[in-house]
A and B are shown apart, each in its own frame.
Chain A
Amino acid sequence: MARMTPEQLKARLDKAAKRIIPSVEKGMDLAALNIEAKAKLNCSPGSSPYSKAPFDTGLLRAEIYHQTEIHGTQVQGFVCSPTEYAEAVHEGTSRRAGRPFILDAIVSERDATQKILAAHLSEGLEAV
């Protein structure tokens, strides 16, 4: 049986946390990409859950993107839409109810996101 002091255990766990980050980042990138794809489907006529898909020129759909950032030991995934009118479409206005194409994608892909992150986390732990 390996024996170690609390300080040694802490150092080892800190090292393990750093080692699994690349694997978790890969998983987060994949999960965010999956949500991006679903958000784009939400903006496509024929596959949109809304009575009228938020689609006219295709700009809103085309500009949706994802990115992953690492801050210390935190891995954050983002799905963004930089289009000028994206917020008005997503949140709604006084003239039209919102069509939250990104939030709905996050909610509907929750199980898939958990599976992807769990798979990459265990992959990272195995490598430690």
Chain B
Amino acid sequence: MVVAITAAIITALKANTALTTALGGSFIYPRSREAVAQIPGVYLTTNTETSACRPGYLSARHRDCRQILQVDVFDDGTAAQVDTLADLVDRALFVATLAGVRVEGRVSRSEQFEADTGRHHVALRYALAYSLQD
């Protein structure tokens, strides 16, 4: 299910023309743990996923799940540019219609500068909620 949600979010972000224009292309990908990020780029990673059986699970097989999604935004321009990209990701995610998934809010936002590569990085985290039927 995580794969399906990540794919739906990537599709929603790619459909946002303001974001893809600012990025200079549809550079939005799922993150592979060890892979070096393309610059500029937006990468999605699942941090934590938890699920709890709903009352009546034995007959209905419903589970309520929560997920922390990390969205990394990288750019080698200025800090203002990467901030703008992060703001666009924020806006795109909050207005996106994701079937069966609720974006509950942003958990954190942090900015880093990689001095050795000259890359700016904004890490955004969102809390998502969705239901599954086993």
Residues of B in contact, count (CB < 8 Å)? 26
List residues of chain B with CB within 8 A of the CB of A96: 33-34
Closest-by-CB residue of A relative to B76 is A94
Interface-lining segment among B11-19, B57-65, B90-98, B110-118: B110-118
Interface of B is mostly: strand
How many Å lie between the Cα of A107 and that of B47 in the bound state? 10
Most chain B CB within 10 A, of A50, A87, A94, A100, is at: A94
CB of B78 within 8 Å of the partner chain: no
Per the 8 Å Cβ criterion, residues 72-111 of B in contact with A are 72, 74, 107-108, 110
CB of B68 within 8 Å of the partner chain: yes
Q: Are B50 and A91 in contact (CB under 8 A)?
A: no
Q: How far is the CB of A47 from chain B (nearest CB, A)?
A: 15
Per the 8 Å Cβ criterion, residues 73-128 of A in contact with B are 87-88, 91-98, 100, 103-104, 107-108
Most chain A CB within 10 A, of B39, B48, B114, is at: B48
Q: Are B33 and A100 in contact (CB under 8 A)?
A: no
Q: How far is the CB of B129 from chain A (nearest CB, A)?
A: 13
Q: Which of A87, A97, A107 contacts B48 (CB 8 A)?
A: A107
Query: For chain A, which range describes its interface: under 10, 10 to 19, 20 to 34, or 35 or more residues?
Result: 10 to 19
A-B contacts, CB under 8 A, total? 61
Q: Are B36 and A103 in contact (CB under 8 A)?
A: no
List residues of chain B with CB within 8 A of the CB of A97: 31-34, 43, 45, 70, 72
Q: Are A91 and B110 in contact (CB under 8 A)?
A: yes
CB of B123 within 8 Å of the partner chain: yes
Give 17 A-B pairs besides A92-B121, A103-B47 with Cβ atoms closer than 8 angstroms: A51-B33, A87-B110, A92-B72, A92-B123, A93-B114, A94-B36, A94-B119, A97-B34, A97-B43, A98-B47, A100-B47, A100-B70, A103-B48, A103-B108, A104-B48, A107-B50, A107-B68
The chain A residues found within 8 Å of chain B, CB to CB, are 50-51, 87-88, 91-98, 100, 103-104, 107-108
